[in-house]
Chains A and B, each alone.
Chain A
């Protein structure tokens, strides 16, 4: 099945004035399409966390969003330092965010688990020095 809408967003590194713009844009799009508010909230939260990870850890990257009749697919990727131990990174409370980031309220170590909790399918691929790829699927019904 081909997608109804396809979008690509640049996610700039370390720029918090633009962080969340991609997810906010997708939120607006889904609202215009009349998608169920609970699904909109789950999608925006999952995408915002993925976007923030790219801003904070990934040295910038991209997000590709495809909206189908029955689902939303989000692919967020960067060419940053990658994740050494994915299992550890997934653990709630674990974070490698520096103090400057924690001072802003980030770095609680809940980003990845927030993505998982709000997605129907969540795949995380990463290797040290080979960047990180996050695949999120959320069903509309």
Chain B
């Protein structure tokens, strides 16, 4: 399932690099707000959920090859962060749901995709 498939289905908002969304596959989900923990654990292609919106999340997503960052509960993202994400080619998504709901959504939608 691509970022576009996921985001479109649930009506999430893409804040940066929307042009990459249909070419970027999501392989799983990782939720954590400790940046070093995320740095150590996010696997290539995973969607990373964090409530942090500071500029450093872009570096973490970029270096771990996360498919995208999903900011839950419609938290506003600083312009500085969005600009950095555009510069580094990182997709940031804003979702109205909680981290838990985002996980469930990914899981159920991904099962559908797996079934063809």
Contacts and interface: CB of A to CB of B under 8 A. Distances in A.
B56 interface: yes
Interface in A97-137: 104-106, 108-111, 114, 117
A110 B50 CA distance: 18
Contacts of B59: 19-20, 23-24, 48
A110 B59 CA distance: 16
B37 A108 contact: yes
- Secondary structure at the B interface, as helix, strand, loop or mixed, is helix
Contacts of A23: 59, 63
Interface string A29-56: 0000000010001001100110000000
Contacts of A24: 59, 62-63, 88
A125 to B, nearest CB: 21
A27 interface: yes
Most buried by B among A23, A48, A49, A117: A48
B25 to A, nearest CB: 15
A44 B55 contact: no
Nearest to A21: B59
A19 B35 CA distance: 13
Given A16-B54, A16-B55, A45-B40, A108 B35 contact: yes
By Cβ-Cβ distance, the 6 closest A-B pairs, closest first, are: A20-B59, A110-B36, A108-B34, A105-B35, A44-B63, A108-B36
